[in-house]
Amino acid sequence: MKSTGGLQRRLETSSTGRALISGLIVFTFAAMLISNLPASELRRTGMKVFKPYLDATGLHQNWNLFAPDPRRATLQLEARITFDDGSTTIWHPPTGDPFVGVYRTFRWRKWAGNVLASSNQELLEPTADWIARMHTKDGKVPVEVVLVKRSYVAPPLGSGKPPKQPWRESVLLTVQYQEGGP
């Protein structure tokens, strides 16, 4: 049985192998450097090349959350579902998990943020359809899904003031389904 250690050793000891490894390290470093530049033509051009690699390797980083100007708006996606028997329920993206906790929540929040972005209007109807399909069970079929964007703006950091306004709500999309559901 051949060991992969032999292949690794051959790669590391040959000049071609060392050149490939060095090239991969330089490419990775350049990708991470470009992705962390402020908005500019250099970043936009570089990301066309590096974004697929960063996404595939999980190295894509976004530090907007931290500094120097974190987003003050808190957003929530809510779906109000009406069933064929007249009952209703409200759905929110899942939160928490006993095993992976915040990592699961982060992905759902990221997904919801993408759905709520005004530049992604084409995601609204497929989202409503998916939510309707997930709630079709036990003989109950959704006849309407209303997607709602809930938001509030936090006071400036360090002000010690509570939010002035409660949650604001805006209906993004209402989808009505015929007999039989989505």
CA-wise closest residue to 36 among 51, 57, 14, 20: 51
- The answer to whether residue 182 sits within a structural domain is no
List pLDDT tens digits, range 50-88.
Answer: 989 988 887 876 665 555 666 778 889 999 999 999 999
Write out the residue range of the structural domain in which residue 41 sits.
4-57
**Is 36 found in the same domain as 104?**
no
**Is 79 found in the same domain as 48?**
no
Structure tokens at 45: 């051009």
CA triplet 73, 75, 79: central angle to 5 degrees?
A: 160
The model's confidence at residue 158, banded by pLDDT at 50, 70 and 90, is confident
CA-wise closest residue to 129 among 181, 88, 92: 181
Residue at 148: amino acid letter: V
- The answer to whether residue 131 sits within a structural domain is yes
